[in-house]
Chain A
Amino acid sequence: MMPDLSSLCRKGLEALYPDKVKITVGRATCGRASGAEEVYQALLAEVKERGLDCTVATTGCLGFCQEEPLVCVQFPGKPRYVYSRVRPELVKEIIVGVINQNMPRKRLLGKVFEDEVLITGEKVKMDDRSGDRSLAENPFYLPQVKVATRNCGYIDPGSIAEYVARGGYLALQKALAQTPEEIIQEVLESGLRGRGGGGFPTGKKWDFARKSPGGVKYVICNADEGDPGAYMDRSILEGDPHTVLEGMTIGGYAIGAHTGIIYCRAEYPLAVATLREAIKQAEENGFLGDDIFGSGFSFRIEIVEGRGAFVCGEETALIASIEGKMGEPSPRPPFPAERGLWGKPTNINNVETWANIPPIIMKGGKWFAGMGTENSKGTKVFALVGDIKNNGLVEVPMGTTLRQIIYDIGGGTGVFDFKAVQTGGPSGGCIPASLIDLPVDYEELTKAGAIMGSGGMVVMNEHACMVDVARFFITFTQDESCGKCLPCREGTRQMLELLNKICAGKAEMPDLELLENLALAIKDAALCGLGQTAPSPVLSTLKYFREEYEAHIREKFCPSGVCRELFELTIAEEACRGCGRCAEVCPQQAITGQRKQPYRLDQDRCIRCRACLNTCRHKAIKVVPPRR
């Protein structure tokens, strides 16, 4: 069937901007974990009980996860109110506000005065601004430029019509009227590089796959997102699934494939369900299937669920996994573009890479290349998490500095000092506070000893121990090593033993040298990316935080207060204001005292759980070497 873009668009606009009050709840996984379902049910119940004529709808995640659950209220022709941290109690006040047309000010994060449709450049004005806080000017949103996440939080992920109303599937229509070579040229010109970690130019990869001989080819969407501390892909899949389907269909046409497979990790059940529904609607409306837009091109998309193995994010392991085997990587070449799934030419891209394709096709490669730095074009989505005030998903142009991301957008680390930021997960490294003005792009991060990776940015304050962080990642890779090659299987085990020794205060200085040499050897000798990059967390922390390793070894002291055997906590009398909050959180009743007087900590009862350390706003709890 021929897709009917204009009637879908009309339907979508009616749903996005109905002529009655519309209330939406961000119901992606992070919203749900903050109580969005209770809020959604409470809204439905209130509306029903009062017999209100208004719509209660669902969206994905607006990115500001710290402030979830987020609820938007939109009167016809008026600005949209965005409320944060909504609880069922606030729902009542919101509903009363709707009835009286006088909305509460409590927890009002900001107002939206205008929606911009990236793909078409159209603007939907909702009202003149009336001196109110604009959401767009909130420091969290101000520096952001949304390309891959342009629809997340704006549309109902279960409605193909709303996707179309925001310019969806126009790029597919345009692409199918062009030659595959023209499309590849556009992607090459955009300078888009893979967002899954490697950063390989996407256009080049497509070109290889197109030129590989063979009648049957595949495209795959890598939605394994195994990097701990990252959830950009989940958010896109849950908030805007069609952009991935549209990108894959365009990619399939460009390289000559008729089957697309999305390999999605099993820990993301909502993403899988959202994708299934999106595929169904795309098929029903003729965006997937035979003879799409009358072009003669046929394309179908299937979902394969991962089963919890990090290494399956690596492309050759992922292919083995789809084929029903153990997810063990194999040496490249041959690259998947030559010999991939079932031995056929296969093109694999990451979720965020695919999500960038429709805007590139519609607005042109040059437009995309106009953002970013010399060798890193466009925008990148980061999961800004850890010890940071504003947790969330942020999309910024490449080249934005760490300072802008961590302080301007993220709001800093509060009373505790910023110590390091970890990027690139188990393959990445820790960047110290001294490099805060580093522009974030592929080259600069690599130069600093970390990598871009998939976009996880875990911020750490002075209470994070860098040796413990290195140990955390080596525990991870040790566990996830598939065991096929010796350097990775045995090498990571030896590194872990050394790190355990250091964290337990049992290491000697030569162990440090051994650790470093071992790390360098594994880097050179491992079979796949997992093993080759596994030493990075060790090498980068050794580079910037060597003195912390040495304190563990020479002084048997963990200065950050993480490694249990290597520190004690005390209360500095001169800093203590006697507020008593430490005593309240102490599970051992180890802290005693009287209000307004310095409190005391009984070493014999303390289990060093750090509850007090993280609670004291006056930094009166001190980490000191243990008495022996």
Chain B
Amino acid sequence: MNVTEIEEIIARHQEVDGRVSGILGDIQKKYRYLPEEALRLVSKKLGIPLTQLYGVATFYAAFSLSPKGEHLISVCHGTACHIRGAVQLSEILEKKLQIKEGETTKDGKFTLEAVRCLGCCSLAPVISIDGKTFGRLKPEDIPGVIAGWKERDNCDA
């Protein structure tokens, strides 16, 4: 963590409404978690008790206190996805990545999480990887989707 970076993020959010959420959101985006020192700094700068920030950091699903993986795989568990086989998708993803939902792979590449509803119910069941949505999935499609994403990663690197 870098103090100037955090200070820059704080300076970017001058508006009153939604300031705390905006700052923590940007920190989460940058570091993929909320480092303790960052929370302490925000608390001091904004004059907000650390306990309140800790409450916020643990209340919302989008924040985490430990680092998330480089890539975020979200399995939608909305109603339509549930009845169209989301559970089966989760099972195969857990098997493939050898982690449970909510965990990160040992190499820090992938975090697997269950989400409430991605709002793509017409394409159920869906998952999203780093914000890209894949719809109408069958369990047998999963290995290809993951392999495709890994390949893309290698090209970027």
Which residues of A approach B to under 8 Å, CB–CB? 29-30, 32-34, 65-66, 68, 225-231, 234, 259, 261, 266-269, 302-310, 321-327, 341-342, 383, 385-387, 391-393, 422, 425, 456, 458, 460, 464, 469, 472-473, 476, 480, 482, 585, 587, 609-611, 614
CB distance from B68 to the nearest CB of A (A): 13
Among the listed A266, A327, A460, A473, which residue makes an inter-chain contact with B59, where contact means beta carbons less than 8 Å apart? Answer: A327
Interface centre among B25, B61, B116, B118 (most CB of A within 10 A): B116
**Residue contact B61 to A33, C-beta cutoff 8 Å:** no
In the complex formed, the residue of A with least CB distance to B63 is A307
In the complex formed, the residue of B with least CB distance to A465 is B83
Among the listed A229, A266, A307, which residue makes an inter-chain contact with B121, where contact means beta carbons less than 8 Å apart? Answer: A229
Among the listed B48, B118, B133, which residue makes an inter-chain contact with A324, where contact means beta carbons less than 8 Å apart? Answer: B48
Nearest 3 pairs of A and B residues by beta carbon: A324-B20, A304-B18, A65-B122
Given contacts A34-B135, A383-B122, A456-B121, 12 further A-B contacts (CB under 8 A): A29-B120, A33-B135, A225-B119, A228-B78, A229-B80, A231-B122, A261-B18, A307-B24, A327-B59, A469-B79, A476-B116, A587-B140
In the complex formed, the residue of A with least CB distance to B118 is A267
CB distance from A395 to the nearest CB of B (A): 15
Interface string of B61-83 (1 = CB under 8 A from A): 11100000000000001111011
CB distance from B132 to the nearest CB of A (A): 8
Known: A228-B79, A229-B79, A305-B25. A386 touches B124 (CB 8 A): yes
**Residue contact A29 to B119, C-beta cutoff 8 Å:** yes
**Residue contact B21 to A321, C-beta cutoff 8 Å:** yes
Among the listed B20, B21, B121, B139, which residue makes an inter-chain contact with A385, where contact means beta carbons less than 8 Å apart? Answer: B121
Residues in A with CB closer than 8 Å to B84 are: 386-387
**B105-132 interface (Cβ within 8 A of A):** 115-124, 126, 131-132
CB distance from B133 to the nearest CB of A (A): 4
Alpha-carbon separation in the docked complex, A231 to B117 (Å) = 9
Among the listed A65, A66, A306, A387, which residue makes an inter-chain contact with B83, where contact means beta carbons less than 8 Å apart? Answer: A387
B4 contacts the other chain (Cβ, under 8 Å)? no
**Residue contact A308 to B121, C-beta cutoff 8 Å:** no
**Residue contact A302 to B82, C-beta cutoff 8 Å:** no
Alpha-carbon separation in the docked complex, A306 to B77 (Å) = 19
**Residue contact B121 to A29, C-beta cutoff 8 Å:** no
In the complex formed, the residue of B with least CB distance to A234 is B119
Q: How many residues in B have their beta carbons less than 8 Å from beta carbons of A?
A: 48
**Residue contact B85 to A610, C-beta cutoff 8 Å:** yes
Residues in B with CB closer than 8 Å to A227 are: 117
Interface centre among B19, B62, B117, B124 (most CB of A within 10 A): B117
B98 contacts the other chain (Cβ, under 8 Å)? no
B148 contacts the other chain (Cβ, under 8 Å)? no
23 contacts between A and B (CB under 8 A): A30-B120, A228-B121, A229-B117, A231-B122, A261-B17, A261-B18, A304-B17, A308-B60, A308-B62, A308-B115, A324-B21, A325-B55, A327-B59, A342-B16, A391-B121, A391-B122, A425-B79, A469-B82, A472-B79, A472-B82, A587-B139, A609-B88, A611-B139
CB distance from B112 to the nearest CB of A (A): 16
CB distance from A512 to the nearest CB of B (A): 23
Alpha-carbon separation in the docked complex, A335 to B98 (Å) = 48
Alpha-carbon separation in the docked complex, A309 to B53 (Å) = 16
Interface string of B26-68 (1 = CB under 8 A from A): 0000000000000000000000100010011001111100000
CB distance from A479 to the nearest CB of B (A): 9
In the complex formed, the residue of B with least CB distance to A422 is B79
Residues in A with CB closer than 8 Å to B83 are: 386-387, 458, 460, 464, 469
CB distance from B60 to the nearest CB of A (A): 4
CB distance from B51 to the nearest CB of A (A): 11
Residues in B with CB closer than 8 Å to A259 are: 17
In the complex formed, the residue of B with least CB distance to A61 is B122
**Residue contact B119 to A385, C-beta cutoff 8 Å:** no
**Residue contact A30 to B123, C-beta cutoff 8 Å:** yes
**Residue contact A228 to B117, C-beta cutoff 8 Å:** yes
Alpha-carbon separation in the docked complex, A385 to B120 (Å) = 10
Alpha-carbon separation in the docked complex, A610 to B138 (Å) = 12
**Residue contact B123 to A65, C-beta cutoff 8 Å:** yes
Residues in A with CB closer than 8 Å to B122 are: 30, 65-66, 68, 231, 383, 385, 391-393
In the complex formed, the residue of A with least CB distance to B114 is A479
Known: A261-B17, A266-B25, A304-B22. A228 touches B116 (CB 8 A): yes
Residues in A with CB closer than 8 Å to B156 are: none
Residues in A with CB closer than 8 Å to B21 are: 304-307, 321-322, 324
Residues in A with CB closer than 8 Å to B133 are: 29, 32-33
CB distance from A442 to the nearest CB of B (A): 21
Among the listed A306, A386, A480, which residue makes an inter-chain contact with B80, where contact means beta carbons less than 8 Å apart? Answer: A386
B15 contacts the other chain (Cβ, under 8 Å)? yes
**Residue contact B17 to A308, C-beta cutoff 8 Å:** no
**Residue contact A326 to B59, C-beta cutoff 8 Å:** yes
Residues in B with CB closer than 8 Å to A225 are: 119
**Residue contact A324 to B88, C-beta cutoff 8 Å:** no
CB distance from A196 to the nearest CB of B (A): 15
Alpha-carbon separation in the docked complex, A209 to B10 (Å) = 33
Residues in A with CB closer than 8 Å to B17 are: 259, 261, 302, 304, 322-323, 341
